[in-house]
Structure 1
Amino acid sequence: MEASESALLEWRESLDNQSQASLSSWTSGVSPCRWKGIVCDESISVTAINVTNLGLQGTLHTLNFSSFPKLLTLDISHNSFSGTIPQQIANLSSVSQLIMSANNFSGPIPISMMKLASLSILNLEYNKLSGSIPEEIGEFQNLKSLILQWNQLSGTIPPTIGRLSNLVRVDLTENSISGTIPTSITNLTNLELLQFSNNRLSGSIPSSIGDLVNLTVFEIDDNRISGSIPSNIGNLTKLVSMVIAINMISGSIPTSIGNLVNLQFFVLYENNISGVIPSTFGNLTNLEVFSVFNNKLEGRLTPALNNITNLNIFRPAINSFTGPLPQQICLGGLLESFTAESNYFTGPVPKSLKNCSRLYRLKLNENQLTGNISDVFGVYPELDYVDLSSNNFYGHISPNWAKCPNLTSLKMSNNNLSGGIPPELGQAPNLRVLVLSSNHLTGKFPKELGNLTALLELSIGDNELSGNIPAEIAAWSGITRLELAANNLGGPVPKQVGELRKLLYLNLSKNEFTESIPSEFSQLQSLQDLDLSCNLLNGEIPAALASMQRLETLNLSHNNLSGAIPDFQNSLLNVDISNNQLEGSIPSIPAFLNASFDALKNNKGLCGKASSLVPCHTPPHDKMKRNVIMLALLLSFGALFLLLLVVGISLCIYYRRATKAKKEEDKEEKSQDHYSLWIYDGKIEYKDIIEATEGFDDKYLVGEGGTASVYKAKLPAGQIVAVKKLHAAPNEETPDSKAFSTEVKALAEIKHRNIVKSLGYCLHPRFSFLIYEFLEGGSLDKVLTDDTRATMFDWERRVKVVKGVASALYHMHHGCFPPIVHRDISSKNVLIDLDYEAHISDFGTAKILNPDSQNITAFAGTYGYSAPELAYTMEVNEKCDVFSFGVLCLEIIMGKHPGDLISSLFSSSASNLLLMDVLDQRLPHPVKPIVEQVILIAKLTFACLSENPRFRPSMEQVHNEFVMPKSSSLDPLPMITLGQLSK
């Protein structure tokens, strides 16, 4: 006992002050058996050390393990221990349970640990352990539980794992383990839990998987596993959870699946599985989750599915199923999520849905369903999302939808619905998205819709609505998308539209609006897309319209507008002003100068530098007038010039030496080659890029911004690259091209899996460009704005992208010296590969921090992502990126840019909002286990968006939260408010 006491006291002294305070009972005057966390046997020998969750910080290197010959349990989980696991831990010769989870341990798993012959539980989850799993792991003959999830382990799973004949649980989730699942693992006939999710495993499911007859949990999702599902999987009759989603598994679902009578979770989504659903599914009466979306399944759904009364989630979406939907799918009344979109289902809506009171999500869009839906749906207390779009439904819109108190999204576009929009919909208290476009709706625009104060989107275009837009729309203070095109609406455009200050998209085209464009439009400073085409508008284009700072697309064609065109902002990218009475010079910005003939034609007399227009000529009398003014100015300033001459001579003497030095620098610069091409692997030539893009022809254009355009180029060797051509010489922050080159080369040294790989750059008198790897997935903003792609961008993938960006920023801020700040983190600058791995791109605004001075620079970044302090200071540091990262996280989980929600996050008005109402409504609500990760992202988002940069976490802290998440005390998702997350 004396040796044990001495060893424990010495270890306590090595910990930080707060840790020592947590172990204040550890004093030499008291028996260790009475110390906190210490357990002794009858012989007063220490048999257990349990100091879990005490906030301890330090290492294990000062703990003398040899002093505990009878120790059975060492539990130091949920602390902040760091450093490597000492080799001397092998001296715990009697230890049975070694629990070191949720710490900061790094380095490899020590091989000496394999000498612990009595070990039955090894839990090292939620650390930073790296390297491979030792081959010697097979020496743990008594091991029952091997938990290594959430580390940074790589390499392969050693075949020696098959020697652990007593193993009951093995969890390797969330590492970077590659290779195949060793067939030897099927020797472990006592195995009950096998979890290999979120790794890089390939190969196929072992054909002898059916030998694991005691298996209850089999989860290998988010890997690269191919091949088919072995038919002997039907031998696993105790199986409760089968999750093999997000892989490359092909073939059909074996009929033997019907033997798994205890199965509750059947999750196969996002694979290449084909064929039909076996009729034996009717045997799975305990099934709660059926998720096979995004595969290649076909045929009719077996009527046997009507026998499953415990179904909670039913997701056959994005396949090629035909025939009717199971009419009794909600026979048990427990169904909560029913998503069958993007198939070829026909027939009516299942009858059992009418009384399915627990339903919270219904997606039947993009099928061939038919029937009158006026009265087939009931009232659902929990329902929050409905999408019936793109079917052949007819009938009226039921006013009962307004009686669903939690309904946030109602989508019924592209059907054959008739009648009017029910005024009762204005009583739906939480309705945020209402999409009824492309039907045959008639009648007036109900003014009662003005009561929908939470509305974010209203799309009712392509109908037969008439009358005016009611003034009550002014209450939609948060709306971001308003689409009323292709109706019979008329009268003047109400000035109340100008009060919708969060609008990003406004389309009033193809109606009968008259009079002039309201000057109140100048208040729409967030607007990006405006379409007023094909109306009866007259008068001039108001100068206020041209003041919109974020306007990118403008269509005013086919009206009766007259007069001159005001000077628009450079943010404008696309314009169409054809078929009006406009005259005079067009603005000298690229949107007009590069506009096509069709976008400018049929006006009264436009001129300018666009290729489709005649040049503007100055009349002779104007030239004479200007000459007279010029002469007067010359005479007026003559006397002033003589006075300044004396001062000028003095200044010339003063600056003589500085001028001489500058000339020497210019001479040195001009003596260099006429262009600079720097390619990192030496395999790309300037002419390759020019030829591959045909001189940067628009047909190769894949993206365009204010300072650069991005082209896709296929090089002679077959390599596809992205070429970012700068619109102007890159000298805004650096005094010359040499300094720019130095910065580009420095950025090229960043090597990280989540940072786009830079291949080189060229500075040339004609073209200056950067060359990067080409990522087929495109930019994150394109994924989020495309409903089809956004649906495939599920919660697992969104969490993966967030973690990838966090890892890259962590590397830039804490793994590079000096640190690098990106300064323009946004969804446009995050690229996605085919595996949904995130890659930060566009380092054109990046700043390499000087640790010895203030880092003052001009503003750079994207509106809506930049930190608020940049409005009053030009000092850049890592916390600017942290704020942008917070905006990006919110955009990813919301499915769109949060807009002004950012500024109201910490207000009392937002504190009562439910988190699940803010999440992207195109996806089902996240469920376990991914829901914990989504909640963690939301909580970190609030911290990152703190107005005071001092209160924002560092990216190291953010990264650590993902690697070692702490247990959460938050309520379940349906109960979590934004106010809880901000605490």
Structure 2
Amino acid sequence: MNVVHIVILVLPMLMFCPELLVSAPIDPATLAPPLSSDPVLPTQTQPVFQDTRANSSGVTEASPEHHKDVNKKILIAVIVSSTVLGGILLSLSCYWICRRETLKNSDTKTERSLESSKGSSFNALRKPSKKGNGSVTVFEYELLVAATNNFKEENILGEGGSGTVYKALFSGQLAAAVKRLKGGKLDAEKEFENEISWLSVIKHQKVISLLGFCIHNETRFLVYEMMHNGSLESQLHGPSQGSALTWNIRMKIALDIARGLEYLHERCNPSVIHRDLKSSNILLDSNFNAKLSNFGLAVADGLQSKNKTNISGTLVYVAPEYLIDGKLTDKSDVYAFGIVLLELLLGRKAVDKTISSECESIVTWAMPQLTDRSKLPNMVDPVIKNTMDLKHLYQVAAVAVLCIQPEPSYRPLITDVLHSFIPLVPVELGGSLRLMNQVPPVDT
């Protein structure tokens, strides 16, 4: 038993039983000085304190009542001092006990957290983001190494200008995509922070979910939800050459992109300009649901920078007014949407090399022919040729032409684009189009 325990046990006794401080009444005789052996003074045989009366010499002696008053004052002083001291000790003891309990509870919570993390998919810390009340997860580098099998080549999902994406498997069951960013890129750190900042607060079914990030020495990692069908660019221009993308799926993808942009432009406050919309930044899940990704260049409308050096990606997606005059609005995203729509419609890359090895943009090639209804059916991607209603084809081509107008005021709002696509997409894919089913034969 330590000193604190003794104080805790004894202190209440002292406070509530102060008589313990004085176990016996004070005998006046005990306060008398001891007998002196000095031969000069006569030996005292009488108590110092006598009854108060006048002796023959006229000196008045102290009475027993006076002595009792002094004893009471001393006793009261002792009790008050003991009470004050006890209160101080009790306060310190309570503080020490509370402190010990707090530390004990904290240790218990930490142990539970560590135990639960062993069976958890992510052994991570929560960290508040810089914008809004969102939060992101900080991953341990060792966890990413284990989940990607040390970033082996067979786990690569894709490579781009910003980095390499790896398939990650956490706890043997939860799949995610880990993007290792390339270093040395101008403003790479700013884009990395911007990506985390925006995706920590933007939560929408048509926007990619950021699961967390990791900083290891000079390398930066971003962890996203898994999108099993990769990017729209890889589906259209990769080995499959768009063979998995039917007309209805392509219209659904266009509708999903429009819904994502409509959320950024109309629902966010302030509105957000993606600024880097292109087919490689549109990701597809296992059911070909499209989601917007890569928010490293995204800005709040009205706060955007006019510095042209911040423009990145393929220039064919950049709106003319932003490229030339540095003017950036939500109509810049609408222009980029028009380029993606042309890729879906024609199956061509945004920029293709001609026979003379010169780069020709899809706008330069398609614009003169898009308004000619006689040529349009032969321009579409061979994979979807003759698989759609021609009225729908003409309507989609008309929307694309409006979106890529050089003058931004001629382009539609993304809300108008969204409403124009809803009737073109089957109900089961998120639109309002009801497909005519084949009439069953009549029983005879």
TM-score class, shorter: 0.5 to 0.7
Residues 888-934 of structure 1 deviation map (CA, whole Å, 9 limit, x = unaligned): 00100111225434125454897476211111112241344xx5444
Give the residue type in structure 2 aligned to 1:767. T
User: Residue 903 of structure 1: which of 364, 376, 380 is its match?
Assistant: 364
Matched, 1:723 2:192: no
Q: Secondary structure at the match of 1:710?
A: strand
User: Residue 847 of structure 1: which of 286, 290, 299 is its match?
Assistant: 299
Contact 1:761 1:771 in 2 (8 A): yes
Aligned in 2, Cα 1:861/1:702: closer, same or farther, shift over 3 Å? same
Give the residue type in structure 1 aligned to 2:387. P
User: Residue 914 of structure 1: which of 349, 363, 375 is its match?
Assistant: 375
Q: Secondary structure at the match of 1:768?
A: strand
Matched, 1:699 2:154: yes
Structure whose residues are more often strand by fraction: 1
Q: Secondary structure at the match of 1:721?
A: strand
User: Residue 711 of structure 1: which of 151, 163, 166 is its match?
Assistant: 166
1:62-141 aligned within 5 A: none
Q: Secondary structure at the match of 2:178?
A: strand
> For residues 746 and 923 of structure 1, what CA distance do their matches in structure 2 show?
36
> For residues 388 and 340 of structure 2, what CA distance do their matches in structure 1 show?
22
User: Residue 249 of structure 2: which of 771, 787, 797 is its match?
Assistant: 797
Contact 1:904 1:910 in 2 (8 A): no
The two structures have a TM-score, normalised by structure 2, of 0.57
How far the C-alpha of 1:944 sits from its partner, in A, is 0.2
Contact 1:883 1:945 in 2 (8 A): yes
> For residues 813 and 780 of structure 1, what CA distance do their matches in structure 2 show?
22
User: Residue 397 of structure 2: which of 938, 942, 959 is its match?
Assistant: 938
Contact 1:795 1:934 in 2 (8 A): no
How far the C-alpha of 1:844 sits from its partner, in A, is 2.3
> For residues 197 and 245 of structure 2, what CA distance do their matches in structure 1 show?
34
> For residues 206 and 224 of structure 2, what CA distance do their matches in structure 1 show?
13
Partner of 1:466: none
The structure with higher relative contact order (CA 8 Å, sep 6+) is 2
User: Residue 759 of structure 1: which of 211, 236, 258 is its match?
Assistant: 211
> For residues 178 and 322 of structure 2, what CA distance do their matches in structure 1 show?
30
Partner of 2:199: 747
Instruction: Give the superposed CA RMSD.
Output: 3.1
Contact 2:317 2:335 in 1 (8 A): yes
> For residues 678 and 731 of structure 1, what CA distance do their matches in structure 2 show?
26
Give the residue type in structure 2 aligned to 1:689. L
Partner of 1:604: none
Aligned in 2, Cα 1:782/1:686: closer, same or farther, shift over 3 Å? same
> For residues 787 and 730 of structure 1, what CA distance do their matches in structure 2 show?
29
Residues 570-617 of structure 1 deviation map (CA, whole Å, 9 limit, x = unaligned): xxxxxxxxxxxxxxxxxxxxxxxxxxxxxxxxxxxxxxxxxxxxxxxx
Contact 1:678 1:762 in 2 (8 A): no
Residues 56-87 of structure 1 deviation map (CA, whole Å, 9 limit, x = unaligned): xxxxxxxxxxxxxxxxxxxxxxxxxxxxxxxx
How far the C-alpha of 1:748 sits from its partner, in A, is 2.4
Contact 2:195 2:295 in 1 (8 A): no
1:14-25 aligned within 5 A: none
1:513-528 aligned within 5 A: none
Contact 2:137 2:211 in 1 (8 A): no
Give the residue type in structure 1 aligned to 2:421. F
> For residues 365 and 348 of structure 2, what CA distance do their matches in structure 1 show?
16
Aligned in 2, Cα 1:908/1:915: closer, same or farther, shift over 3 Å? closer
How far the C-alpha of 1:881 sits from its partner, in A, is 1.1
Give the residue type in structure 2 aligned to 1:774. M
Aligned in 2, Cα 1:685/1:947: closer, same or farther, shift over 3 Å? same
Matched, 1:925 2:386: yes
Residues 759-790 of structure 1 deviation map (CA, whole Å, 9 limit, x = unaligned): 11223324211110011111112211357562
Give the residue type in structure 1 aligned to 2:338. G
Contact 1:856 1:875 in 2 (8 A): no
> For residues 774 and 763 of structure 1, what CA distance do their matches in structure 2 show?
20
Partner of 1:73: none
Q: Secondary structure at the match of 1:890?
A: helix
How far the C-alpha of 1:723 sits from its partner, in A, is 0.9
Partner of 1:824: 276
Structure whose residues are more often helix by fraction: 2
Residues 719-748 of structure 1 deviation map (CA, whole Å, 9 limit, x = unaligned): 111111111267617xx76x9536522332
Aligned in 2, Cα 1:896/1:742: closer, same or farther, shift over 3 Å? closer
Aligned in 2, Cα 1:802/1:910: closer, same or farther, shift over 3 Å? closer
Q: Secondary structure at the match of 2:242?
A: helix
1:353-502 aligned within 5 A: none
> For residues 330 and 319 of structure 2, what CA distance do their matches in structure 1 show?
11
How far the C-alpha of 1:705 sits from its partner, in A, is 1.5
> For residues 713 and 755 of structure 1, what CA distance do their matches in structure 2 show?
20
Contact 1:787 1:922 in 2 (8 A): no
1:172-571 aligned within 5 A: none
Residues 232-256 of structure 1 deviation map (CA, whole Å, 9 limit, x = unaligned): xxxxxxxxxxxxxxxxxxxxxxxxx
> For residues 908 and 715 of structure 1, what CA distance do their matches in structure 2 show?
50
Aligned in 2, Cα 1:836/1:692: closer, same or farther, shift over 3 Å? same
> For residues 885 and 846 of structure 1, what CA distance do their matches in structure 2 show?
15
Partner of 1:546: none
Matched, 1:772 2:233: no
Aligned in 2, Cα 1:898/1:726: closer, same or farther, shift over 3 Å? closer
Contact 1:905 1:911 in 2 (8 A): no
Residues 454-499 of structure 1 deviation map (CA, whole Å, 9 limit, x = unaligned): xxxxxxxxxxxxxxxxxxxxxxxxxxxxxxxxxxxxxxxxxxxxxx
How far the C-alpha of 1:683 sits from its partner, in A, is 8.8
Matched, 1:806 2:237: no
Contact 1:777 1:836 in 2 (8 A): yes
> For residues 787 and 769 of structure 1, what CA distance do their matches in structure 2 show?
27
> For residues 843 and 791 of structure 1, what CA distance do their matches in structure 2 show?
29
Give the residue type in structure 1 aligned to 2:398. K
Q: Secondary structure at the match of 1:712?
A: strand
Q: Secondary structure at the match of 1:903?
A: helix
Aligned in 2, Cα 1:760/1:787: closer, same or farther, shift over 3 Å? closer
Aligned in 2, Cα 1:942/1:829: closer, same or farther, shift over 3 Å? same
Contact 2:177 2:225 in 1 (8 A): yes
Q: Secondary structure at the match of 1:792?
A: coil
> For residues 960 and 784 of structure 1, what CA distance do their matches in structure 2 show?
25
Matched, 1:874 2:326: yes
Partner of 1:960: 419
> For residues 715 and 721 of structure 1, what CA distance do their matches in structure 2 show?
8
> For residues 681 and 748 of structure 1, what CA distance do their matches in structure 2 show?
6
> For residues 800 and 746 of structure 1, what CA distance do their matches in structure 2 show?
25
Matched, 1:861 2:320: no
**Sequence identity percentage:** 27
**Larger CA Rg, structure 1 vs 2:** 2
> For residues 731 and 877 of structure 1, what CA distance do their matches in structure 2 show?
24
Q: Secondary structure at the match of 1:872?
A: helix
Aligned in 2, Cα 1:847/1:729: closer, same or farther, shift over 3 Å? farther
Give the residue type in structure 2 aligned to 1:703. G
Give the residue type in structure 2 aligned to 1:947. P
> For residues 174 and 373 of structure 2, what CA distance do their matches in structure 1 show?
52
Partner of 2:109: none
> For residues 711 and 758 of structure 1, what CA distance do their matches in structure 2 show?
15
How many pairs does the alignment contain?
285
Aligned in 2, Cα 1:753/1:766: closer, same or farther, shift over 3 Å? same
Q: Secondary structure at the match of 1:791?
A: coil
Contact 1:849 1:855 in 2 (8 A): no
